């Protein structure tokens, strides 16, 4: 994997898919800004593993726009410039229909603040940065929910991922002449703490019934693809959505 010397910022990198991505990138020689919100221990574990010359833990609450901007600034300070921005951070908060309207809408706004508003703001500052540097790529970690919908408890989550997908395609279409590329990776159920919340409510058998394979996707199934895109060898696939969901669309 041709990642030596690549400079990359990964959001939500202290656990789950983001941790696996950052770990893979660092293992293959990239220099990585490791964003976290509350999972300091996970972020620091990567710094201890690879050294502070190669990785830096960067804390930010992505629901706060000022902290989003500061995160990008601090990442640029550490990395010098950013080759690839990986927008992975997200929340998966249920708000079933029997929730009161005010609480339902509070969760809606909280979900979109992290999953879409912060992504939009990070996209803006990244585009400014990439135009100056004459190249760059953004990898958006989306969801199958953008294409097949979600259960009634997760309407905000599905809506946020739908917006993210349209944003990514618009970036690819509108900024390609600046040598800026954008991709969406759309996982299905992946064995993470976020998914365990759903599994705990509905059971693993229900999840397995929705996919074509016999086992859930692991975070390590996703990381190599992100590494390959980050290497630049997939740049002519800009604008595409890559499904990693164990055949759940066709099952």
With contact defined as beta carbons under 8 Å apart, do 219 and 16 qualify?
A: yes
CATH architecture of 7-187+218-244: 3-Layer(aba) Sandwich (3.40)
Q: Indicate the domain borders of the chain.
A: 7-187+218-244
Q: What's this model's pTM, rounded to 2 decimal places?
A: 0.94
What is the b/e burial string over 14-31, where b = at least 16 CB atoms within 10 angstroms of the residue's CB?
Answer: bbbbbbbbbbbbbebebb
Question: 10 Å Cβ neighbour count for 113?
Answer: 17
- Taking only the tens of pLDDT, the chain with its 251 residues reads 799 999 999 999 999 999 999 999 999 999 999 999 999 999 999 999 999 999 999 999 999 999 999 999 999 999 999 999 999 999 999 999 999 999 999 999 999 999 999 999 999 999 999 999 999 999 999 999 888 888 899 999 999 999 999 999 999 999 999 999 999 999 988 888 767 777 787 788 888 888 889 888 999 999 999 999 999 999 999 999 999 988 877 65
- For helices 155-175 and 101-112, angle between their N-to-C axes, nearest 10 degrees: 30
HSE (side-chain half, CA atoms, 13 Å) at 24: 24
Token pair 């410039």 is found at 81
CA distance 164 to 4: 29
CA distance 98 to 84: 41
Angle value at C-alpha 30, between 235 and 13, nearest 5 degrees: 95
Token pair 């890559």 is found at 242
pLDDT at site 148: 85
pLDDT at site 250: 67
SS3 183: strand
pLDDT at site 31: 98
Q: What does the H/E/C string look like for 66-115?
A: HHHHHHHHHHHHHHCCCCEEEECCCCCCCCCCCCCHHHHHHHHHHHHHHH
Q: Please, which residues have CB within 8 angstroms of residue 132's CB and are 6 or more apart in sequence?
A: none
SS3 146: helix
φ and ψ of 6, to 5 deg: -75, 145
H-run or E-run covering 7 = strand 7-10
Q: Please, which residues have CB within 8 angstroms of residue 208's CB and are 6 or more apart in sequence?
A: 214, 215, 216
């Amino acid at each position: 994997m041709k990642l030596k010397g690549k400079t990359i910022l990964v959001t939500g990198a202290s656990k789950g898919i983001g941790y696996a991505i950052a770990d893979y990138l660092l293992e293959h020689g990239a220099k990585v800004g490791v964003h976290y919100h509350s999972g300091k221990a996970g972020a620091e574990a990567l710094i201890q593993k690879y050294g502070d010359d190669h990785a830096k833990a960067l804390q930010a609450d992505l629901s706060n726009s000022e902290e989003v901007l500061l995160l990008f600034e601090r990442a640029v300070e550490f990395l010098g410039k950013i080759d690839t921005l990986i927008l992975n951070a997200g929340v998966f908060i249920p708000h079933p229909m029997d929730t009161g309207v005010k609480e339902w809408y509070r969760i809606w706004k909280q979900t979109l603040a992290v999953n879409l508003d912060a992504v939009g703001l990070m996209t803006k500052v990244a585009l400014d940065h990439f135009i100056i540097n004459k190249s760059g790529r953004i990898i958006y970690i989306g969801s199958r929910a953008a294409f097949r919908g979600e259960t009634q408890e997760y309407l905000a989550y599905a809506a946020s991922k739908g917006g993210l997908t349209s944003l990514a395609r618009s970036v690819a279409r509108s900024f390609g002449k600046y040598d800026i590329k954008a991709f969406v990776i759309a996982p299905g159920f992946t064995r993470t703490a976020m998914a365990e919340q759903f599994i705990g409510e509905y059971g693993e058998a229900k999840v397995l019934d929705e996919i074509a394979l016999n086992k859930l996707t692991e975070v390590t199934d996703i990381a190599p693809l992100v590494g390959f895109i980050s290497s630049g060898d997939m740049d002519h696939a800009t604008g595409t959505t890559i499904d990693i969901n164990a055949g759940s669309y066709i099952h």
